A and B are shown apart, each in its own frame.
Chain A
Amino acid sequence: MSLDKGTVKRVAQLARLRLDDEQLEKTAEELNKIFTWIEQLDEVDVSNIEPLASVTGHSLPERMDEVTDGNYPDRVLSNAPDRASNFFTVPKVVE
């Protein structure tokens, strides 16, 4: 398997990261080394093995679907880089 510059560029776009041409080259090289190293997992036979997503072994707790918190917009917005009244703002998305 080999990651080319184009693939790295596409993945970076998915992750909303911007890499210039030089960074793309360097990153592709680094990622290739890492994935070549990861490929040793091919040696492991995982047929009939269930994937493990959680080590706790217990099922997720449930609670009533009701509001238990909130009503403090100033706290929620206190770290906003930019706000307008009780809203976060973003650049215009609709022309």
Chain B
Amino acid sequence: MSSILDLDLASAKSALQKKEVSAVELTETYLNVMSSNDHLNCYITSTPERALDMASKSDDRINSGDALPLDGIPIGIKDLFCTDGVLTTAGSHILNGFIPTYDSTVTENLWENGAVMLGKCNMDEFAMGSANTTSYFGAVENPWRSDDRQKTPLVPGGSSGGSASAVASRLALAATGTDTGGSIRQPGSFCGIVGLKPTYGRCSRWGTIAFASSLDQAGPLTRTVRDAAIMLKAMAGHDPKDSTSANLQVPDFESALTNDVRGLRIGVPREYLLDGMPSEIEKLLETGIEMLRTAGATIVDVSMPHTKFALPTYYIIAPAEASSNLARYDGVRYGLRIEGDNLDDMYEKTRSVGFGAEVKRRILIGTYVLSAGYYDAYYLKAQRVRSLIKQDFDLVFDNVDVLLTPTAPSDAFAIGENDDDPIKMYLNDIFTVPASLAGVPAISVPVGLSKNKLPLGLQIIGKMFDEELVLRVGGALEGMAGFKSRPAGGA
């Protein structure tokens, strides 16, 4: 059985098409290991019947020679994507019992490509968190264990923690995630897998529950860079139902994976080397630099002077947009309702019971920075700093093709650690937030292990809509790093 689970998406695709394995067989294997790994809490809802039904239809198409690109590929869906007829929670109690009557555009695209849904992946409540500890449905466990604390369960990162842990634990061949400030890339780094945040506008946001609309972007979590290219091709595309969706042709990302980085100029922004950062993170970056230089790229020292302001800027803009987006949860049209003496009483009771502490905190920050008298000082100011951050990227990309940085400032930490200190938790996203604010694509690729034998990723950031180069350099880095370590937990 384990040999089937060893197949990555690209190999499974070819095995399915050569009929070495059937879609139903592959799906059953995944459903089995899912049910024996409940303790990891990767899934909020599993959908075995739907999975087997989808797999059997995939087998029919494969057998009649009409195979779709992802036919028979069992995947996990972050519980932020609406799925027709399947409970969708955003990791929150406030969406209690919510069963959408439609699919998000991204999931619809995946089903049209033949993918098989295993279930809905756990996540931080409304995608707010960097450890997957804010979910109403409980924390998710990382299958990796630290060398010095074998018994301590670790966080998978967040907010796409269920998706990342599922892929790393082999409870899904691939999974969808969403990334607002690092929610695909940081869990990718913590779990030793690949996480790709596409350019803002590459994947439609329609039917994906909104957190911060000017930042939210869907993307894949996968075992390899090639798998990320295959998944993105299926997920992406113009959608008239999302007015910010880019009206561009979706390239064949897989054909960009030439591994050739000769002649490329790769920038290393000096502002990403922080005082007090663990030396192993700096060493990992040195390793990445050396690999790419050996492969023929030119490494360029660059400066992006507004980098350090990205995180505080993000913590004005994202909560402001969230407070507005989450105003819709009022107990009237869907989800939880706590009856009250009058309308306001019902709103307050419903929202106070329905939202968790971190979501409330961000709603309060957002409401405050948008309130009369503070709007200019905070929100408008943050939008102006965002201009400068984007300008840093525009200027640096006149000089280099991509940027190389660490993905996260540490390896995975214990469940419960950092929970009492919001700012410490926010600092997890220090290297991922700048690209989110600028809208540019970025990938995290596992490159090495920390001294505690936990995975660490490096991030490649590219120009707007240049996922092809991001994937090409990411693929080259992956090949040279040869990251083959496996977690102790999972299947």
Contacts and interface: CB of A to CB of B under 8 A. Distances in A.
Given A79-B98, A90-B343, A52 B364 contact: no
A4 interface: no
A73 B98 CA distance: 16
Contacts of B396: none
A2 B345 CA distance: 29
A34 B315 contact: yes
A61 B201 CA distance: 13
Contact of A51 (B309, B344, B367, B383): B383
A18 B349 contact: yes
- Which of A15, A30, A75 counts the most B-chain CB atoms under 10 A from its CB? A15
A79 B334 contact: yes
B260 interface: no
Interface in A10-61: 11-12, 14-19, 27, 30-31, 33-34, 37-38, 40-41, 43-44, 46, 49-56, 58, 60-61
Q: How large is the interface on A (under 10, 10 to 19, 20 to 34, 35 or more residues)?
A: 35 or more
A69 to B, nearest CB: 9
Contacts of B378: 38
A55 B437 CA distance: 8
B112 interface: no
Nearest to B200: A55
Interface of A is mostly: loop
Given A17-B355, A30-B422, A50-B387, A44 B306 contact: yes
Contact of A56 (B323, B342, B365, B439): B439
Interface of B: 97-99, 101, 200-201, 214, 240, 243-244, 246-247, 306, 308-309, 312-313, 315-316, 323, 330-337, 339-349, 351-352, 355, 360-361, 363-365, 367-368, 371, 378, 380-388, 390, 422-423, 437-439, 464
16 contacts: A7-B368, A8-B364, A16-B348, A19-B352, A31-B365, A33-B422, A34-B423, A38-B312, A41-B385, A55-B439, A58-B246, A63-B240, A91-B339, A91-B341, A91-B343, A91-B345
Given A46-B381, A55-B437, A78-B99, 8 more contacts: A16-B330, A30-B361, A63-B240, A79-B99, A79-B333, A80-B333, A81-B331, A91-B340
Interface of A: 3, 7-8, 11-12, 14-19, 27, 30-31, 33-34, 37-38, 40-41, 43-44, 46, 49-56, 58, 60-61, 63, 75, 78-82, 88, 90-93
